[in-house]
Amino acid sequence: MIMHPQFHYEDVEVGSEIPSLEKNPTTQQLVKYAGASGDFYQIHYDKDYALGNGLPGVIIHGALKNAFLGQLMTDFAGAQGTLRRLAVQYRGMDQPGEKLIARGRVTRKAVEGGEHVVECEIWLENSKGDKNTTGTAIVVLPTRAG
């Protein structure tokens, strides 16, 4: 696991990228996710079924890609930060066996109701550079001022 030091509100600049997260989903992970989430739609583990539905093969659960972006943000928030909001849209499909990189960029920072709020645009990028999953997230970070 990649650990980075706790980010504080003062460390963060609008426009800067947050630490990225590399994920390598496999068909085995899709089966594990189906079991853990209870989403047994066959397009995620039955290749014949997926092909019969006009898909190029089994595809990654949108919700698993959502989870990857959740991990990106809880890693960024760190032990002292808090994830407040996470929104994702699925614009295209991704298949297992391909590296996905979760990335984010700070779009806004503000002190709201005494809290140090940081907003990010977030996305998953495949090896072709396609951004098939995009979204936004809001975290509250600790401040060095205490």
Partner 1 sequence: MADKLVTDEIKRRIGLQSEPFVVEVERGAIRRFAEAIGDPNPVFNDEKAARKSRFGTMIAPPTFCRSLGAVPLLREIGLGTHRILDGGSEWEYFEPIRPGDRITVVSRVADIREAKGRLGLMALVVVETTYTNQFGERCVTQRNTSIHY
Q: Which residues bind partner 1 (CB under 8 A)?
A: 1, 23, 25, 29, 32-33, 35-39, 61-64, 66-68, 70-71, 73-75, 79-80, 82-90, 135
**Smallest gap from residue 111 Cβ to partner 1 (A):** 19
**Smallest gap from residue 44 Cβ to partner 1 (A):** 11
- Residue closer to partner 1, measured from CB, 9 or 33: 33
**Smallest gap from residue 39 Cβ to partner 1 (A):** 7
- Residue closer to partner 1, measured from CB, 13 or 37: 37
DSSP H stretches of helix in 18-125: 27-37, 47-52, 62-77
In which residue are the tokens 């190029």 written?
56
Distance in angstroms (rounded) separating the CA atoms of residues 36 and 98: 22
**Smallest gap from residue 12 Cβ to partner 1 (A):** 19
**Smallest gap from residue 140 Cβ to partner 1 (A):** 10
- Residue closer to partner 1, measured from CB, 32 or 131: 32
- Residue closer to partner 1, measured from CB, 15 or 143: 143
- Residue closer to partner 1, measured from CB, 12 or 83: 83
